[in-house]
Structure 1
Amino acid sequence: MKIATTSALVTGGASGLGAATARRLAESGAQVVALDLPAAVDHAAPAPGIRYVAADVTSADDVQAAVDSIAADQPALRIVVSCAGIAPARKVLGSKGPHDLDLFRRAVEVNLVGTFNVLRLAAAAMSQTEPDEHGQRGVIINTASVAAFEGQIGQVAYAASKGGVVGMMLPAARDLAAVGIRVNTIAPGIVDTPMLAGLGPEVGASLAASIPFPQRLARPDEFAELARMIIEHDYLNAETVRMDGALRMAPS
């Protein structure tokens, strides 16, 4: 899949993994629509080739409006990278009692239902476009986490939601094969994002020391580069690619 002269949709596009991916795709010639919550969009730094849209990924109307905002005279939507997500931390049973059910629901709603909402509406739009010379209409990349496989103490909601992202990939790829759309997943390890930076340098250093090699935190631009590689690799379909420096998460 050629990135230049396409339109791309990136969720969580105003910060962290999404912002790095939006920039990388724009630098590669795509016209990028970066979705994020209104407060994040308000603080996003303008960048050439990127148009920020305030949207909630769990809203069918918001996502449909963002997809529809790609005008007929613009390049066809060919690329979707879903990075929007939340990471609540709570034990099944903690000092304050059982895990809050609404918090669990919210994690699944944003991380899993939101990802599926974007996938289904973007796929519908892609299916109406003309295929390229290889029969391709698009590629969708979802973001899971190593927590989908090795969820730590306090990550039950996050791990469940990200495990769902991994689980829906293969049937989604099979469903969309008939219209020439590939579906893949990236499962990052510990990435140096603003969310992690907020925990302080000592926490970051401790986490980096747990990674076999390279013994450092991953960078958002490395996630963006991996997304670019997956987009351009036409035979890569229904795969989860771990980007974790050989990390296998311990219980805590």
Structure 2
Amino acid sequence: MSKLLLIEDDHALSDLLSDYLTSQGCTVEQAFDGLAGLEQATSHHYDVILLDVMLPHLDGFEVLKRIRLTHLTPIIMLTAKGDDFDRIFGLELGADDYLPKPFNHRELLARIHAICRRVDFIKQTDQHEQLLSSSHVTLNVAARKVIVNEHVLILTGTEFSILQKLMGRIGDVVSKDVLSQHVLGRRLAPFDRSIDMHVSNLRKKIAQYSDIQCIQTIRGSGYVFLAE
């Protein structure tokens, strides 16, 4: 059973989503403005946070930024339909996924389940001393820790999963679609830049402590983590 926090200022929509997700076995708590949502998100444990962009008192982007200062809880942004800026900016700030309004309730549930399956898989996998490493990056699967030149990286769950997939196939090209299905639990739609933005964030974090460009883009194919 997933425990969710829904931060949405439209009371009617929030109640509708809450009723539907509860009927599907989820536990849902609601917040109707940015400040209340931030307080709940940082003082309680949730499996997934559903975060609207347009909120009173504190908008969704600011809520996302402040959550990411202390918490890595998976976050799905609820954005305006067709607003590419909202989607890309949310991903840059550390959102795990986004869903444009209006959306199908079943698709939202599928996105939630995909994120929860990814987290459960990481927790349940028997990773006895499983380390993935290159000359300057070490990924400890069991501890969910990444070290770059003796510095610990703070990664979101999505970033960690992408790096794990790439480092598990060092030297091989991994397509964006494979990454999307592995990390987000869905095929990559045309013009969907989710994986690109997550990889960009990952590169920036690694670059804080290393000058080596270890993740290379293979145009038209995907990404490869370069061998030592």
Question: Could you say whether these structures have the same fold, taking a TM-score greater than 0.5 normalized by the shorter chain as the test?
Answer: no
TM-score, normalising length: structure 1: 0.37
Instruction: Choose between structure 1 and 2: higher strand proportion.
Output: 2
TM-score, normalising length: structure 2: 0.41
Using CA pairs under 8 Å that are at least 6 residues apart, name the structure with larger relative contact order, 1 or 2: 1
